[in-house]
Amino acid sequence: MSSEEPSLSMLLLSFGLLILASAYFSSSETGMMSLNRYRLKHLTRNKHPGASRASKLLETPDKLIGVILIGNNFVNFLAAAIATTIAIKIFGEPAPLITAVVLTLVVLIFAEVTPKTIAALYPEKIAYPSSMVLILLLKVLYPVVWVVNVVSNALVRVLGFSSVSNDSHQQLSAEELRTVVYESSERLPQRRLGMLLNILDLEHVTVNDILIPRNDIIGLDIEDDIDEILRLIGSSQHTRMPVYRKDINNLIGILHLRSVGKLIRLETVNKAAILGETVEPYYIPESTPLHTQLTNFQRKKLRMAVVVDEYGAIKGLVTLEDILEEIVGEFTTDLADSSKDFHAQQDGSFLIDGSTSIRDINRILSWSLDNTGAKTLSGLLTEMLQSIPDSAVGIRLDGYYAETVQVKGNVIRTVKMWPAEKAEDDE
């Protein structure tokens, strides 16, 4: 044996270092590609050095992958050559099968599976430190990386694909964003989580789902006696009141009760003075999504809108507060107890006003009544019965029981309801 030939110990040491280098490249690739892009952008904006380096490398993923694969393949091939030399020294003759089996197991365990698993579990701990070496290697090997990328991108185009990076696939849809919010539920307070989900729901909800029905509108009929008008103004719990003539469809304007304070200085408050303080109504179609209407309220500096159907007839009112309640919830502590439309009974059932919207029932009682058709409880029951009941009637809904308690003026006024599961438990 020539004295210039490397010893077995040197070969083993070189082989071990090459396996470590291969593990570095494998873990760097997995770590860089496993980074959370949104967290990376956040840390980059906060001047995190490791995140800034990684973000710069990921701006040109073809160059990043190129330098990693060049380094990884080089050390793997060199390790294979040294492994063959070690096998010759140990067995005295070439042993390709033994060398291939042993090298495959060693590379697979120590240079592939283990480092990639660690990098997938802790991408930031691997990617940020390794980015320093990768940037240095990219500068040193840039000519080789450039040649490899030119040939590779040409083959990509020949195969009919675009070699230009497209970031649109990284943009989240509303449903994907909803999934991200759900996955972050353990880190967010329950109330904030609900607010985020409600914001995402705004585009799926229209003003028709939350409007105050025309029958429930409290307004001023200018044809009434002035004393009656003043009584309604004095007892109103709202800051704005519609002013109409005989019928709500003959709407004149909206009166802000703050403006009424100006009239107190008059010796005699008359109808002309009240009409002079009204402002022109703001009409919107019933199909307007809530997120659009919220933007419109902000742009027009308004807080109330009159909702009309496709024929121009008034269906109801919607206010800025109604939309905000869809996001933050009702401005009460215990909704089922405080709402005038809900009365909890000792047996676990609820007496519910028939004009209550199904959406409010589902939100307040955490039920799941179908609201794709009728919008109010009375409408839903009438739709199912296909008639107006003239006495108490029991109805089986999907998962719930309902019993009409009061019917007046061709409308179901009061309903007793309870979940079907409770009835089965009682039995």
Q: What is the CATH number of the domain that holds 287?
A: 3.10.580.10
E strand or H helix that includes residue 152: helix 142-158
Q: In this structure, are 364 and 299 located in the same domain? A: no
Residue 191, domain member (yes or no):
no
DSSP codes of every residue in 374-407: -SBHHHHHHHHHTS--SS--EEE-SSEEEEEEEE
Q: In this structure, are 34 and 74 located in the same domain? A: yes
Q: In this structure, are 22 and 121 located in the same domain? A: yes
Q: In this structure, are 370 and 310 located in the same domain? A: no
**Environment class of 31 (CB within 10 Å of its CB; exposed 0-12, middle 13-18, buried 19+):** buried
Q: In this structure, are 341 and 306 located in the same domain? A: no
Please state the pTM of the whole predicted model. 0.64
Residue 86, domain member (yes or no):
yes
Residue 184, domain member (yes or no):
no
pLDDT reported for residue 23: 93
Q: In this structure, are 307 and 354 located in the same domain? A: no
Tens-level pLDDT at each residue, the chain (427 residues): 444 567 888 888 988 999 999 999 999 999 999 998 888 988 999 999 999 999 999 988 888 999 999 999 999 999 888 888 888 777 766 566 777 788 888 888 998 999 999 999 999 999 999 999 999 999 998 899 899 888 888 888 888 776 665 555 567 777 888 888 888 777 788 778 888 888 888 888 899 988 988 888 999 999 999 889 988 988 888 889 999 999 999 999 999 988 887 776 666 678 888 898 999 999 999 999 999 999 999 999 999 999 999 999 999 999 999 899 888 876 654 444 445 678 888 888 999 998 888 888 888 888 888 888 888 899 899 988 888 888 889 999 888 999 999 998 888 999 999 998 755 555 5
Q: In this structure, are 311 and 339 located in the same domain? A: no
Q: Out of 288, 317, 346, pick the residue that ends a domain.
A: 317
Three-state secondary-structure class, residue 317: strand
Q: In this structure, are 405 and 287 located in the same domain? A: no
pLDDT reported for residue 238: 85
pLDDT reported for residue 163: 61
Please, are residues 29 and 137 in contact by the beta-carbon 8 Å criterion?
Answer: no
Q: In this structure, are 14 and 120 located in the same domain? A: yes
Q: In this structure, are 255 and 313 located in the same domain? A: yes
Q: In this structure, are 299 and 421 located in the same domain? A: no
Write the CATH number for 344: 3.30.465.10
Q: Out of 164, 195, 217, pick the residue that ends a domain.
A: 164
pLDDT reported for residue 92: 66
Domain that holds residue 284: 203-317
Q: In this structure, are 296 and 226 located in the same domain? A: yes
Residue 180, domain member (yes or no):
no
- Tally the C-alpha atoms within 13 A of residue 178's C-alpha that lie toward its C-beta: 11
Residue 185, domain member (yes or no):
no
